[in-house]
Amino acid sequence: MPHLNRRHFFQTCGAGLAHIALSSLEAAGTKSSHFPAKAKSIIYLFMEGGPSQLDLLDYKPKLKQLDAQNVPASLIEGKRFAFMERMTAPKLYGSRAEFRQDGQSGQWVSSRLPEIGKVSDKIAIVNSIVTTNVNHSPAMVMMHTGSMVPGRPSLGSWIVYGLGSEAKDLPAFVAMTSGPRGPRNGTDIWGSGFLPTAYQGVPFLNGPEPIFNLRNPPGVSTARQARAIEAIRDLNQKRLDMMGDNEIATRIASYEMAFQMQASCPELMDLSNESKSTLEMYGATPGKASFANNCLLARRLVERGVRCVQIYHTDWDHHNGIEKGLDKICPEVDRPSAALIRDLEQRGLLENTIVLWGGEFGRTPMREGGEGAAGRNHQVDAMSVWLAGGGIKAGQTVGKTDELGFKPVEDPVHVHDLHATLLHLFGLDHKQLTYRFQGRDFRLTDVHGNVVKKLLA
């Protein structure tokens, strides 16, 4: 028998391998879950920089009472902070915000988030989230992929890999940004890692035209564009039949999706056809780049079958000037976040759409800087998130930290536990959702994670 080199093997066996490659790209269709799901989609409102849970969601009257007193050395011994040189003889810093209880649930929410407070009966607050890394970039990667090391698939990619997509002419996974800059890490936090790239997030830009090249150049008709796409597809198909590389199959699918988006996205992006009351509820302005517009666009995306939408709002890193910083940024996100919950509910979408709000870590109970420019350091032992919809048991606060907010004393929830719970709501067992890579079965939660049953409705 003649020696078969790699090229000859692929040329002679290409058709079968092409079929295998294409079969791995089932993001275009739905797949069966491990058990009945409560959620079909998720909107992740990510507050990059680490919002202060002590000024927003974790009420600490004792901390306020002890404001400006020295921190007992025993409480910070062995703790990791981002800038230790600023933490010599640290003093406690009580929140300047007032907290109040709205609704029947009686959950404590800061006066800085008045609209979130008004929908507190529709959300679950978790005040005991524990993460791993004290620095922004690895902490963000951890929150999105379950690992501090870049290169793992993101939460959205795992969900699409597990369930496929219900969107016919839109990506299954979309990432959007707002704020003064884009998020750190970029594709590391919405990428597909070692999963086929068909499962990665598609970024929409922060501007009046979120998608590049959505319109054809002058003189290029839709029919001409279709002929070009068809020719490119045929060339790629020949290469796929020869090489059997699933990334070529992804390329074919991406051209097809881009062509479909040229028809569907102009209507999707046009917020002017929303009612005046809806625009006012969000505080959205058609044609303007804002967190409010992105929240409204997120509702329109899940309405059309998009599985995962991530919205990044930056500028939460308040090492100093925290009062002024929160005065500015909280109104930017409070009203649209609450409007998103109300809007999804009134359209019957909240029942199967999870809304998750939070950052990469929390902030410390002691202050950085002087009284006039006080801020808070990074805190990995305790942070807060809130969730709504999609099978979440609303109107409750899960987890409790000590009276000063240093660490959980009741129901600690690690990032792996949060991920396991989110997958569970999608009908996916985090231990069974695996992908074999370099001789090992990988999963979002690695070898960790427990479903937080208190969060389940």
Please enumerate in sequence order all residues whose Cβ is within 8 A of that of 280, keeping only pairs 6 or more positions apart, or say none. Answer: none
| Amino acid identity for residue 56 in this structure | L
So what's the pLDDT on residue 8?
40
* pLDDT for res 67: 95
Q: What is the pLDDT of residue 221?
A: 67
Q: For position 342, what pLDDT does the model report? A: 98
Distances in whole angstroms, Cα of residue 53 to Cα of each of 109, 383, 417: 10, 6, 19
Cβ atoms of residues 293 and 285 within 8 Å:
yes
Domain segments of the chain as ranges: 25-208+278-313+328-403+419-455
* Helical packing angle, 291-303 and 246-269, nearest 10°: 110
Looking at residue 337, its pLDDT comes to 98
What local confidence, expressed as pLDDT, does residue 233 receive? 72
Local structure of residue 438 (DSSP, 8 states): T
Provide the 3-class DSSP secondary structure of residue 342: helix
Residue 408 CA to residue 400 CA, distance in Å, equals 6
Structure tokens at 407: 């660490």
pLDDT of residue 254: 66
Predicted confidence at residue 205, as pLDDT, reads: 74
Q: Give me 84's structure tokens.
A: 């230790």
Three-state DSSP state, 373: helix
The CATH-assigned architecture of domain 25-208+278-313+328-403+419-455 is: 3-Layer(aba) Sandwich (3.40)
* Of residues 242, 173, 152, the one with CA closest to residue 440: 152
Sign of CA dihedral 440, 445, 447, 451: negative
pTM for the complete prediction?
Answer: 0.88
Helix or strand holding residue 110 (H, E): strand 107-110
Return d(Cα 245, Cα 22) in angstroms, integer. Answer: 9
Per-residue pLDDT for the chain (457 aa), expressed as one digit of tens each?
Answer: 444 444 443 344 433 333 333 333 445 568 899 999 999 999 999 999 999 999 999 999 999 999 999 988 877 777 777 765 555 678 999 999 999 999 999 999 999 999 999 999 999 999 999 999 999 999 999 999 999 999 999 999 999 999 999 988 889 999 999 866 778 888 899 999 999 988 999 888 766 566 655 666 676 666 776 676 677 777 777 777 777 777 777 676 666 666 566 666 778 888 999 999 999 999 999 988 899 999 999 999 999 999 999 999 999 999 999 999 999 999 999 999 999 999 999 999 999 999 999 999 999 999 987 767 899 999 999 999 999 999 999 999 999 999 999 999 999 999 999 999 999 999 999 999 999 999 999 999 999 999 999 999 9
- What is the pLDDT at residue 322? 96
Write the single-letter amino acid at 266.
P
